[in-house]
Structure formats: C-alpha cells, structure tokens
Amino acid sequence: QVQLVESGGGLVQAGDSLRLSCAASGDTICISAMGWYRQAPGKERELVAAITSAGSTNDADSVKGRFTISRENTTTTMYLQMNSLKPQDTAVYYCKAGSFTVQAWCIILLTAYWGQGTQVTVSS
C-alpha cells in the first residue's frame, strides 16, 4: 500500500505562484511514475504533469512554460511549481503514483494510488 498526501494548495490571485508537494509513504520502493492531476467542478480529471523514476517529465499543453514538476527519489516527494497562475487553473490537484505489486506468483500489477487532493483557487 502507498499513501499519498498533497499539500501547498491555497487561495491566490492571478499571476501568483504556488508550490504543491506530494509525500509518499508506505511501500514506496516500487513506485515508478508519478504525476499531478487536477479536477475542476463539473469537469473530468486531467493530467497536469508527469514524471518517471528516470526523471523524464511531460506537461500538459495548458501548463507548459508555467508549471514545473520535479521529484526527489530519496524522500519519495514530488513537487509542482506553479507560476503565473490563472483562474482557469482553479481545481483540486491530486497526486498519483504508480507502484508495482505482486498479485501472485509470476504476476505483477501496476497499481495506481491517489492522494486526497489539495484545493487550488486562483482569483482574477
């Protein structure tokens, strides 16, 4: 089992910056890729940025140039630096981690774990 806890959300004005943190605990040794998702009221959850264990990153087009994802493997902590925030960035931001688990002999599953989310509200 992996537990994910997000922090760093809050209420800011347009143009401000926030840094979100995601701390993983539990059976974290097999965590592979991690990512940040967000979900606004009435909308589907969408990928914001992802990072692999090798450090490769991928950002959504809507946040490229503004958001930066990073990861500290030693502490299993992931960050999302958000600059030049816009009202449309308002959403609950979720941390996701993929972890390999042994289901049975010769069977390995990649399980997705989610945090509870942290609210980011950007006022104009």
Q: Is 122 exposed, middle or buried (0-12, 13-18, 19+ CB in 10 A)?
A: buried
Q: What is the pLDDT of residue 75?
A: 72
Q: How far apart are CA 69 and CA 27, in angstroms?
A: 22
Q: What are the 10-residue block averages of pLDDT along the chain, 124 residues in total?
A: 96 98 92 95 97 92 97 86 98 96 87 97 96
